[in-house]
């Protein structure tokens, strides 16, 4: 039964990859990559249960956090061209 879930999630990842390639704006790509990341978390979790090794959940948890930080970092870099904190930025830098 995990096979059904795995196939569904993998199919979604393929569909999302098409959106990554198609764009059209860079934000569409980031959105798609973010979704791809959360699907990866689900894929790892399902794979862990499928292989009978639920310890994979630790990897899924880590991946979820890395995915979030990665998305935020890319967005911040896009917007400010810098990952550091600019104290006298005109805009409130709370991305």
Footprint on this chain of another protein (rule: CB under 8 A): 1-2, 4-5, 7-9, 11-16, 18-19, 22, 25, 27-28, 30-32, 34-35, 38-39, 41-42, 45-46, 49, 54, 57-58, 60-61, 64-65, 68, 71-72, 75, 78-79, 95
Which CB, 28 or 86, lies closer to another protein?
A: 28
57 CA to centre of own chain: 16
> How far is it, in rounded angstroms, from Cα 64 to Cα 58?
10
The Cα-based distances of 54 to 60, 71, 92 in angstroms read: 10, 27, 42
CB of 68 vs another protein, minimal distance in Å:
4
- Minimum separation from the CB atom of position 94 to another protein (A): 9
Quick one: 43 exposed, middle or buried, by C-beta within 10 A (0-12, 13-18, 19+)?
A: buried
CB of 1 to another protein, least distance (A): 5
Please identify, using beta-carbon distances, which residue of 15 and 86 lies nearer to another protein: 15
Report how far residue 12's alpha carbon sits from residue 1's, in angstroms, rounded to the nearest whole number. 17
């Amino acid at each position: 039964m995990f096979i059904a879930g795995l196939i569904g999630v993998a199919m979604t990842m393929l569909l999302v990859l098409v959106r990554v390639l198609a764009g059209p704006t860079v934000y569409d790509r980031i959105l798609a990559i973010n979704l791809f990341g959360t699907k990866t978390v689900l894929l790892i979790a399902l794979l862990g249960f499928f292989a009978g090794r639920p310890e994979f959940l630790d990897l899924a948890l880590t991946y979820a956090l890395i995915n979030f930080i990665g998305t935020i970092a890319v967005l911040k870099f896009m917007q400010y061209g810098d990952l550091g904190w600019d104290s006298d930025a005109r805009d409130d830098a709370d991305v």
